[in-house]
Structure 1
Amino acid sequence: MTNMEWQSRKEKVICKGEANLAPIYAAKAKNAIITDIEGNEYIDFAAGIAVNNTGNSHPRIVAAVKAQLENFSHTCSTVVPYTSFVELGEGVVEAAPGDFAKKAAFLTTGSEAVENAIKFARHYTGRPGVIAFKGGFHGRTNMCMGLTGKVNPYKAGFGPFPNNIYHLPYPNEYHGVTEQESLSAIDDLFACDIEPSQIAAIIFEPIQGEGGFYQAPASWVKEIRALCDKHGIVMICDEIQSGFARTGKMFACEYYDVVPDLITIAKGLGGGFPISGVVGRAEIMDHPQAGGIGGTYAGNALACTAAVEVLKVIKEEQLCERAQHIGLLFKEQLESMQRDIPQIGDIRQVGLMAAVEFNDPETGAPLATLTKQLVKKANENGLILLSCGVKGNVVRFLPPLTIETELVVKGLEIVKTQLLDLTK
């Protein structure tokens, strides 16, 4: 059967909300190449949305999971635990920044990680309020949609959302939102809407993912840390997309000289297997009562086994350094492209988390249609691309950190060829 035949079958039985990027049905994936059921090959610049940082089907991860599967697949970590659950906890606690006692909790999805981070913060502080930021993305459950600062397609029609969530401007130099405007909005919030003694947590992405790959300024993060310390607020960094070597460091928050209290983790941790978690200050993590945290599939045995191997691969294959190296190659190639294509308004790159924003060179208006066309044309020409941004005018580059250099060059040549054709 063809891709289109499978797409027709899918549309008859799978809800419209679970739309797919293109009618491409995977048959096999190896490192940075995906092969579809018709035998067509695609360069993977998505990595399953920053999940396969260690590449598609890394042989060490495959071997580890196969061995675990021979023993058992599930017992529930809160009923009969297993050694990989503990090993992963040790590895994540060691990897997380902070010169203080830390503990971890493991779950299944990124949304669960965020939900539980809020649970930890509220339980520890005894407070209801949470501050989040415009342009942030924190997941698709009701609480997480409430935290998310992007309406379409994630929030439209799904309300009402939980109370006690306050959205404030995220500093964004390219779009004219200053750090002081963001910080002043917090002052106004405390003066007009809720006292700081009722705020449990401030949650933000060090680099906004779905929002458009905007990095928080170091001075702003320092001010947020100071506010949290002053008022007893839990500072949460959402590292679900930016974690596990993606930015050239294990966590993006390591670019700052302050440390969050809690970090949410998922995606790149599992190497393709569903696992998420929260890691942070032991006193906060230990505050909920026994049985207050968990889930049937939380820290599944297969996923824990995969994640233990992922941490080893990141270290032994020096993927932080690799992300820096390949990220700079992306930046150089994109800057060269920008000289011929003025619609590329901005280029952002931290490690191998890179993006281009498309704007009209005369008016500055966001070019969402061009962005959508580029993603479609890239797919049709053998390259898997993803868009993002509150206004839908950003293309993000999230290939496996293990991608071969020649595939980077080849993939970006496809981008350039299609852009030149679309903008002529």
Structure 2
Amino acid sequence: MDFPSVSQSISFVHPISLTHGKNAEVWDVDAKRYIDFVGGIGVLNLGHCHPKIVAAICEQAQRMTHYAFNAAPHVPYQRFIERLAAFIPVSYPVSGMLTNSGAEAAENALKIVRGHTGKSAVIAFDGAFHGRTLATLNLNGKVAPYKQKVGSLPGPVFHLPYPSADNGVSTAEALKAMDRLFSVEIDIDEVACFIIEPVQGEGGFLALDVEFAQALRRLCDDKGIVLIIDEIQSGFGRTGQRFAFSRLGIEPDLLLLGKSIAGGVPLGAVVGRKALMDTLPKGGLGGTYSGNPLACAAGLATLDEMTDANLAAWGEQYSVALLTRYEQWQAQKLSPYLGRLTGVGAMRGIELLTPEGKPATAQMAQLLASARERGLLLMPSGKARHIIRLLAPLTIEPEVLNEGLDILEACLASL
């Protein structure tokens, strides 16, 4: 597709132009219907145009469309941040700030950590993705395409292997790499924070090893290092519970949020321990659009739907349907390229591998095109872009989910 007024540095997975959507379905300019397993890359856990979110936006638009919260506080921001703090399952009182995006939340978290610790060194992980802004690029555990031709990046940032049963890296291997890092690269006393995703999104839907997560939490407690957990993609019910860190048996010091926080309206947040969040001087945090009233109204409507009962039911329906179908495909030996199922809950990826065990990137390109032709939108992930990222709305109707899986099955069988 060629849009002369759009930067050619922006790429498209699917060469179509969408006009509207409803829950897990979208339509293009030719009125062709697609089942959406992309969900705005994890933004639409409640689907396209959820009626309660649309109603909340419309109602708020008649009251106030914008005010800068740091100029004069407005009620939607106050209400939403209070509800959000109560929604986060941690043992300590939560405070925070709202942002325009997940990347902006990550940027502000780095500012907060520097102010609190007086240190600047950050440890991130291979395969990580934390945003496209200049500072977050350096956190990402992947060069192409994000870091190419950008030049020197803010630092210092160091990377460790990400331990997961989904990528074959063990806790022992990751801890050994950490020992080497602190012996060779940097003194542990100079480290300000670790930043980690409990389930990597861009990295291929890799679920963090529980043993490593708990060892990391103990290390941070012992050494006074801040632990930042990035739940921008894994949060708000995607793994079957409010946040994925709960399955690890740990709590973050700072939590990064975005994507499905407000039903498709741009909003993010960095929240955490009050002692951290209050570190910077007055005026050190804020932003013109951060916590826009329309976004906050959408966020409040989103939280209304994010009950534990709903999340459990949606996650069970989604994961059971997918697991059942995947096991059938394996038993049938549906495709020589069908690899492992990665992730947890309703945050799942399907790996495509050649018979030699190499990433099947050519087959992924074929699969994306054939699925789109049949009316299913998919998204790749992983270092080699060989893992199908499945991010259908949690609210997808069972018959639509099965229809989408039928298409995926047919496309896999034709590889």
Normalising by structure 1, we get a TM-score of 0.95
Offset, 1:34: 0.4
Aligned residues of 1:331 and 1:354 also touching (Cα < 8 A): no
Q: How far, CA to CA, are the matches of 1:190 and 1:168 in structure 2?
A: 11
CA displacement 1:99-128 (0-9 Å, x = unmatched) = 112101100011101111111111111111
Identify which of 379, 382, 407 aligns with 2:400: 407
1:187 and 2:185 are equivalent in the alignment:
no
* Partner secondary structure for residue 201 of structure 1: strand
Question: For residue 236 of structure 2, what is the aligned residue in structure 1?
Answer: 244
Q: How far, CA to CA, are the matches of 1:20 and 1:154 in structure 2?
A: 15
Offset, 1:377: 1.4
Offset, 1:216: 0.5
Question: For residue 136 of structure 2, what is the aligned residue in structure 1?
Answer: 144
Q: Which amino acid aligns with 1:350?
A: V
Question: For residue 110 of structure 1, what is the aligned residue in structure 2?
Answer: 102
Q: Which amino acid aligns with 2:50?
A: H
Range moving further from structure 2, 74-83 or 315-324: 315-324
Backbone CA RMSD of aligned residues: 1.3
CA displacement 1:260-279 (0-9 Å, x = unmatched) = 11110000001010000111
Q: Which amino acid aligns with 1:39?
A: A
Identify which of 361, 381, 389 aligns with 2:374: 381
Q: How far, CA to CA, are the matches of 2:226 and 2:327 in structure 1?
A: 39
Identify which of 348, 366, 383 aligns with 1:354: 348
Offset, 1:54: 0.9
CA displacement 1:22-75 (0-9 Å, x = unmatched) = 222122111111011211111011111111111100011101100111112111
Question: For residue 299 of structure 1, what is the aligned residue in structure 2?
Answer: 291
Identify which of 335, 338, 354 aligns with 1:341: 335
Range moving further from structure 2, 308-317 or 57-66: 308-317
Aligned residues of 2:378 and 2:388 also touching (Cα < 8 A): yes
Question: For residue 82 of structure 2, what is the aligned residue in structure 1?
Answer: 90
Q: How far, CA to CA, are the matches of 1:371 and 1:124 in structure 2?
A: 45
* Partner secondary structure for residue 13 of structure 1: coil
Question: For residue 327 of structure 1, what is the aligned residue in structure 2?
Answer: 319
CA displacement 1:235-255 (0-9 Å, x = unmatched) = 011000000011101100010
Q: Which amino acid aligns with 2:285?
A: I
CA displacement 1:167-194 (0-9 Å, x = unmatched) = 1111133443221111111111111221
Question: For residue 233 of structure 1, what is the aligned residue in structure 2?
Answer: 225
Q: How far, CA to CA, are the matches of 2:285 and 2:368 in structure 1?
A: 40
Offset, 1:330: 1.0
Q: How far, CA to CA, are the matches of 1:418 and 1:176 in structure 2?
A: 27
Aligned residues of 2:165 and 2:207 also touching (Cα < 8 A): no
Q: Which amino acid aligns with 1:417?
A: A
Q: How far, CA to CA, are the matches of 1:316 and 1:243 in structure 2?
A: 13
Q: How far, CA to CA, are the matches of 1:87 and 1:174 in structure 2?
A: 39
Aligned residues of 2:128 and 2:202 also touching (Cα < 8 A): yes
Q: How far, CA to CA, are the matches of 1:175 and 1:31 in structure 2?
A: 32
Offset, 1:319: 2.8
Q: How far, CA to CA, are the matches of 2:131 and 2:343 in structure 1?
A: 23
Q: How far, CA to CA, are the matches of 1:274 and 1:330 in structure 2?
A: 29
1:417 and 2:410 are equivalent in the alignment:
yes
Identical aligned residues as a percent: 38
Aligned residues of 1:212 and 1:355 also touching (Cα < 8 A): yes
- The correspondence of residues 157-172 of structure 1 with structure 2, limited to 5 A, is 157-172=149-164
Aligned residues of 1:247 and 1:324 also touching (Cα < 8 A): no
* Partner secondary structure for residue 304 of structure 1: helix
What residue ranges of structure 2 are gaps of 5+ in the alignment? Answer: none
Question: How many residues end up aligned between the 2 structures?
Answer: 413
Identify which of 278, 288, 294 aligns with 1:286: 278
Question: For residue 366 of structure 1, what is the aligned residue in structure 2?
Answer: 359
* Partner secondary structure for residue 341 of structure 1: coil
Range moving further from structure 2, 392-401 or 115-124: 115-124
Question: For residue 269 of structure 1, what is the aligned residue in structure 2?
Answer: 261
Aligned residues of 2:166 and 2:207 also touching (Cα < 8 A): no
Aligned residues of 2:39 and 2:393 also touching (Cα < 8 A): yes
What residue ranges of structure 1 are gaps of 5+ in the alignment? Answer: 1-6
Aligned residues of 2:193 and 2:226 also touching (Cα < 8 A): yes
Q: How far, CA to CA, are the matches of 1:416 and 1:98 in structure 2?
A: 40
Aligned residues of 2:127 and 2:140 also touching (Cα < 8 A): yes
CA displacement 1:350-406 (0-9 Å, x = unmatched) = 221111011123x21111111121112111211111000001110010001100011
Offset, 1:325: 2.2
Offset, 1:227: 0.8
Aligned residues of 1:92 and 1:279 also touching (Cα < 8 A): no
Q: How far, CA to CA, are the matches of 1:108 and 1:248 in structure 2?
A: 25
